[in-house]
């Protein structure tokens, strides 16, 4: 009753302004809740899995060398932290060098493919068939050629990671509306300016798409290299832990590798955010608007 009496003398304009404000408030509330849900739900799922895992291994008395409970993995992780850090650092260096090499070689290669049709025709089939070859099979060969040090791991990481960079860069450079090129020409931009003002920015979302795939592949490459013949790195640590049936350490190593992979991926994503305005990042809107 009191509510109705109070609202009577108000002008319609005030009423509209009020409903506007309340619409904005409820929108903000919804957005906030959605953000919390986005964090809460995945964390909940992970915690749930860990709890089931922990309870299952304890109740069923699974031997620790088969499947250690998460708590034991955590203890091992903390106890071996210096070891993991030392080997993690080496693996990180291999990954980053392999990734950097992928960029340094991949992007100019893509440029050449884009600018020079003859080159494209002669080299692209070779490039594609090089990808059909299982690169893990080449790893022992690299060992013979380049020894046990950093180099073979970097090269394997590069070999696995550079292809997406080449393809996504070449595709990004080629996929531009013809009108944009017509526009550039009618404005009087030369070839170089057209490239830097039109083509390259147009290709950046695609290039970064390739870089994001590439960084995860570089992690695989480095670990494969360490498996085949290493004396350091997380992959080597996994082999050692496996050999001594220290499954806890094995799991701790896997966790460390996962964290490393995610962090590196996020760093590439950060670079993407800095390099191009958010709204033209490929797939970004789709991912975040479904949330």
CB of 104 to another protein, least distance (A): 25
* Helices and strands: H and E segment counts in the chain: 13, 0
Q: Closer to another protein by CB, 153 or 199: give it.
A: 199
101 closest CA partner among 169, 159, 164, 140: 159
Whole-number Å distance between alpha carbons of 132 and 261? 24
Q: Closer to another protein by CB, 65 or 182: give it.
A: 182
Q: How far apart are the first and last CA of the chain?
A: 40
Chain-centre distance of CA 167, in angstroms? 17
# of chain residues touching another protein (CB under 8 A): 20
Whole-number Å distance between alpha carbons of 50 and 55? 8
Binding mask 223-262 for another protein (x = CB under 8 A): ----------------------------------------
217 closest CA partner among 138, 284, 141, 135: 135
Q: Closer to another protein by CB, 85 or 187: give it.
A: 187
What is the helix (H) or strand (E) element at residue 181, kind and residue range?
helix 178-187
Binding mask 51-80 for another protein (x = CB under 8 A): ------------------------------
Q: Closer to another protein by CB, 124 or 174: give it.
A: 174
Task: Determine which residue in the list 81, 128, 259, 280 makes contact with another protein, applying CB under 8 A.
Answer: 280
Whole-number Å distance between alpha carbons of 208 and 204? 6
CB of 188 to another protein, least distance (A): 4
CB of 168 to another protein, least distance (A): 18
What is the helix (H) or strand (E) element at residue 27, kind and residue range?
helix 12-59
CB of 45 to another protein, least distance (A): 34
DSSP state at residue 176: -
Chain-centre distance of CA 13, in angstroms? 51
CB of 181 to another protein, least distance (A): 9
- Residue 128 binding another protein, by CB under 8 A: no
Torsion sign across C-alpha atoms 240, 241, 244, 245 = negative
Is the Cβ–Cβ distance between 136 and 157 less than 8 Å? Answer: no
Q: Closer to another protein by CB, 129 or 290: give it.
A: 290
CB of 197 to another protein, least distance (A): 7
Is the Cβ–Cβ distance between 165 and 212 less than 8 Å? Answer: no
Q: Interface residues for another protein in 157-216 (CB under 8 A)? A: 177, 179-180, 182-189, 193, 197-198, 201-202
Binding mask 260-279 for another protein (x = CB under 8 A): ----------------xx-x
Task: Return residues touching another protein (CB under 8 A).
Answer: 177, 179-180, 182-189, 193, 197-198, 201-202, 276-277, 279-280
């Amino acid at each position: 009753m009191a509510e109705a009496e109070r609202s009577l003398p108000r002008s319609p304009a005030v009423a509209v302004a009020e409903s506007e404000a309340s619409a904005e408030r409820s929108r903000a509330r919804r957005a906030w809740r959605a953000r919390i849900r986005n964090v809460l739900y995945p964390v909940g799922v992970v915690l749930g899995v860990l709890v089931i895992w922990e309870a299952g291994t304890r109740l069923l008395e699974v031997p620790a060398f088969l499947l250690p409970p998460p708590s034991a993995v955590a203890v091992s992780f903390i106890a071996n932290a210096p070891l993991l850090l030392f080997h993690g650092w080496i693996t990180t260096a291999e990954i980053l060098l392999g990734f950097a090499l992928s960029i340094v070689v991949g992007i100019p290669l893509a440029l050449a493919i884009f600018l020079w049709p003859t080159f494209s025709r002669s080299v692209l089939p070779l490039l594609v068939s090089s990808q059909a070859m299982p690169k893990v099979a080449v790893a022992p060969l690299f060992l013979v050629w380049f020894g046990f040090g950093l180099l073979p791991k970097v090269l394997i990481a590069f070999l696995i990671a550079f292809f997406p960079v080449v393809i996504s860069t070449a595709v990004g450079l080629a996929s531009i509306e013809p009108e944009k090129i017509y526009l550039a020409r009618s404005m009087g931009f030369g070839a170089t300016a057209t490239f830097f003002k039109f083509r390259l920015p147009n290709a950046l979302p695609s290039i970064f798409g390739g870089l994001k795939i590439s960084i995860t592949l570089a992690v695989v490459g480095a670990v494969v290299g360490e498996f085949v013949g290493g004396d350091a790195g997380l992959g080597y640590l996994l082999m050692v832990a496996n050999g001594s049936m220290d499954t806890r350490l094995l799991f701790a190593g896997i966790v460390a590798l996962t964290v490393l992979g995610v962090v590196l991926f996020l760093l590439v994503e950060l670079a993407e955010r800095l390099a191009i305005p958010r709204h033209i990042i490929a797939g970004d809107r789709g991912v975040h608007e479904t949330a």
